[in-house]
Amino acid sequence: MSSNERELKTVMHPVKMRTLKVKNIQQIAPHLKRITFSGEELSDFTSLSPDDHVKVFFPYPGEETPVLPVMTSEGPKVPEGSRPAIMRDYTPRRYDNSAKELDIEFFLHGSGPGSQWAAQAQVGQKLTIGGPRGSKIVPYNFDWYLMIGDESAIPSFARRLQELPKSSKSLVVIEVENESDKMEFAHEGLAEVFWVFRNGSAPGKSDRIKTHLERMRFPVGDYFAWIALEKTCAFEMKEFLLHTKGAQEEWIKATGYWKA
């Protein structure tokens, strides 16, 4: 297969702010909460890749509503003299333009504005999102796919597995705290999911996943790898794949989903 047929494409979207209401809340795993947002402004929402992210704006403690950036010809600007809202990136897990619904899944790790907001979220509450700014589209014609991540990657990987075609093969390695964090993924293709447990050890270290990968026999053929971990770990893992697992640099997307 020619390299052109495996070229990644970037599609940019008009940046739009949307204020949405909480429509439904589901606890889908001990530390993972799915919140469904609704609003008329979702009628033109677009997300073309499971790698996409929206900016979610959270208020500071004691604030009712956050100070939102104002869209200008030069991009988003915060009103002068104001403290900008707390922003975090989240994966659009599912969206339905006709129903005007968007699902975002929050990892409840006990600290951080997103986790704290999701822990107390109630139906009817409002939240503002921005984006996605763009989508990086990976073709689904590789021989197989590799996904390496931790809890923060679960929404993106779950969406990716759901979107991969029946003919696809995937290996998925996810580090979580313990057995209680395991979950089932819906998928059409052939997917093997491996769980690595910290069992009380500190998150944000790459050695446990590296040890697991060293023992794994990879399928034959060209693969695309998504890495979504703590920032330093993500780039350590990329180097590991390049130097020991026959990866090609243009076929790896390593993203720091959080910083230690």
Please, what are the domains in the chain? 9-134 (2.40.30.10), 140-258 (3.40.50.80)
Give the mean pLDDT of 149-172: 97
pLDDT of 3: 63
109 vs 10: which has the higher pLDDT: 10
Q: In angstroms, what CA-CA distances link 206 with 108, 149, 169, 198, 252?
A: 21, 10, 24, 11, 17
Give the mean pLDDT of 56-68: 86
| List of E strands, the chain | 9-12, 17-29, 32-38, 54-58, 70-72, 75-77, 86-90, 94-96, 101-107, 126-130, 134-137, 144-150, 169-176, 190-197, 223-230, 252-258
pLDDT of 171: 98
Say if residues 43 and 18 touch (Cβ distance below 8 Å).
no
**Residue at token pair 């929402």:** 45
pLDDT digits (tens, 9 = 90+) for 176-194: 999 999 999 999 999 999 9
Say if residues 59 and 51 touch (Cβ distance below 8 Å).
no
Pairing of strands 101-107, 32-38: antiparallel
